[in-house]
Amino acid sequence: MSEYKYSTLAVHAGQHPDPLTGAINVPLYLSSTFELTGIGTDRGWDYSRAGNPTRDRLEFALAKLEGGYSGHAFTSGMAAIAAMVAMLKTGDHLLCALDVYGGTVRLFNEIIVLYGIEIEYVDMSDLALVEKAIRPNTKLIYLESPSNPRMVLTDIAAVAKIAHAHGVEVGVDNTFMSPCLQNPIALGADIVMHSTTKYLNGHSDGIGGALIGSTPEHKERFLLVQKAAGGVMSPFECFLVLRGIKTMPLRIKQHEENGRAVAEYLSTHPKVQKLNYPGLKTHPQHELAVRQQKGFGSMLSMELGTRDNCAKFLAALKIFLNAESLGGVESLASHSATTTHATVSAADREAMGITEGMIRLSMGIEDKEDLIADLEQALASF
Ligand SMILES: *Cc1c(COP(=O)(O)O)cnc(C)c1O
């Protein structure tokens, strides 16, 4: 199936008609258990935590879309990250990019650290720092590119090269880009993670996560974690994500177009003190974005000076909704310091450069002129 182009894959990978009825949509198999055909024999499924026919279809599609060996669907993005780090054991060293999703930092610093796994944060836009931080017990490098919310890129191919020279695996949270715009495995990464809550589902009506592995060992390991720890995606959620995937390439086109138009508009606005969007030629890593990504996405962050300016701006918006999350059809604006990064200490936030004056925008698929007009009137409120 991989000989097909992306939009075709999105509609058809894992989504072939039901062999029993010819239904062109993947049936929703709401069954916890499956009749066995004898002792120790079955029709491919025995219990839905271990495997479910609807989930199988989604997992197949995810593997195809990311160019991986196997896909694994979890109950949330965080459950997927927890499943990835379940590969580690006491004494292992996990090297994490400096400004990853706030929930990831919470998981690592409040839970994973309790298992005696050493966690170290490094600015991965500086490759020399990555190389220097690798120790004999380093097992996994975990990163996001672009990062949240500063939109700092990491050269995935370069990090993978350094990591592999030391026998270390690389996991990439690809949520911000979607599988349409960046494929970390093709760039050399070993494992891809997605919060399907975002672009894959795309309609802000579900929570889910995924891991895509690149080897038979990953498949075996992630299947075990699914079965043993049990944080698997429900069949209904799988159905929603499968439906979302069909229109993902089309949605991403509009998200992207809006991202570029809004960034261009904000780039000359006198009240926007700083704008972080890799699509701008002035972004310090624009060249890397062109090389590594198939587009610039629809996420950006900007500096409005103070928390009070942000409050006025958010209150004045009419189309953009003041809400966390991203990747849905509706445009969202959020104050990073008090939402996604609220549990990160003020000192750590400062080290990451996430200020009280920072606003993150997720462009939806509305008309770009309406979005720009909304931003214009909201920026006039302070
Ligand atoms: C939302 C998000 C997550 C967490 O996913 P959930 O589905 O909310 O558990 C992880 N990483 C990134 C980049 C995200 O945006």
Segment 76-102, tens digit of pLDDT: 999 999 999 999 999 999 999 988 898
Residue 94: its H or E element: strand 93-97
With a 6 Å cutoff on the Cβ, whether 144 touches ligand 1 is yes
CA of 176 to the centre of ligand 1 (A): 9
| Beta-bridge partner residues of 274 | 303
Q: How far apart are CA 299 and CA 39, in angstroms?
A: 53
Q: Please count the CA atoms within 13 angstroms of the CA of 70 that sit on its side-chain side.
A: 14
CA dihedral 118, 123, 125, 131 (to 10 degrees): -50
Residue 125 neighbours by CB under 8 Å, 6+ apart: 152, 153, 154, 155, 285
All CATH 3.40.640.10 domain ranges of the chain, comma separated, are 6-244
Residue closest to 144 by CA, chosen among 166, 122, 161: 122
Cβ burial of 273 (10 Å; 0-12, 13-18, 19+) is: middle
pTM: 0.96
Cβ burial of 292 (10 Å; 0-12, 13-18, 19+) is: buried
Cβ burial of 27 (10 Å; 0-12, 13-18, 19+) is: middle
CA dihedral 365, 79, 146, 190 (to 10 degrees): -120
CA angle, 102 as apex, 98 and 105 as ends, to 5°? 60
Domain 6-244 has CATH 3.40.50.1100: no
Report, as ranges of residue numbers, the positions in the chain whose pLDDT lies below 70: 1-2
With a 6 Å cutoff on the Cβ, whether 174 touches ligand 1 is no
Residue 302 neighbours by CB under 8 Å, 6+ apart: 266, 272, 273, 274, 275, 276, 358, 359, 361
CA of 221 to the centre of ligand 1 (A): 22
Class of domain 248-379: alpha beta
CA of 91 to the centre of ligand 1 (A): 27
| pLDDT value at residue 2 | 55
CA of 195 to the centre of ligand 1 (A): 5
With a 6 Å cutoff on the Cβ, whether 34 touches ligand 1 is no
With a 6 Å cutoff on the Cβ, whether 64 touches ligand 1 is no
Q: How far apart are CA 89 and CA 81, in angstroms?
A: 15
| pLDDT value at residue 349 | 84
**CA dihedral for 266, 269, 271, 277, sign (positive or negative):** positive
242 alpha carbon, distance to own chain's centre:
16
| pLDDT value at residue 345 | 83
With beta carbons less than 8 A apart as the criterion, state whether 211 and 72 touch.
Answer: yes
Residue closest to 330 by CA, chosen among 249, 263, 255: 255
With a 6 Å cutoff on the Cβ, whether 176 touches ligand 1 is yes
Would you call 49 a catalytic residue per the annotation?
Answer: yes
The strand order across the sheet containing 138-144 reads 70-74, 209-213, 191-195, 169-173, 138-144, 93-97, 118-122
| pLDDT value at residue 148 | 86
Residue 80 neighbours by CB under 8 Å, 6+ apart: 72, 74, 193, 194, 195, 209, 210, 211
Q: Where are the alpha helices (DSSP H) in the chain?
A: 6-12, 53-66, 77-85, 102-110, 127-133, 156-165, 178-181, 184-187, 216-229, 235-266, 286-292, 307-316, 346-352, 368-379
With beta carbons less than 8 A apart as the criterion, state whether 171 and 190 touch.
Answer: yes
Q: How far apart are CA 77 and CA 210, in angstroms?
A: 7
All CATH 3.90.1150.10 domain ranges of the chain, comma separated, are 248-379
Q: Which two tokens stand for residue 49?
A: 């935590």
37 CB neighbour count, 10 Å cutoff: 9
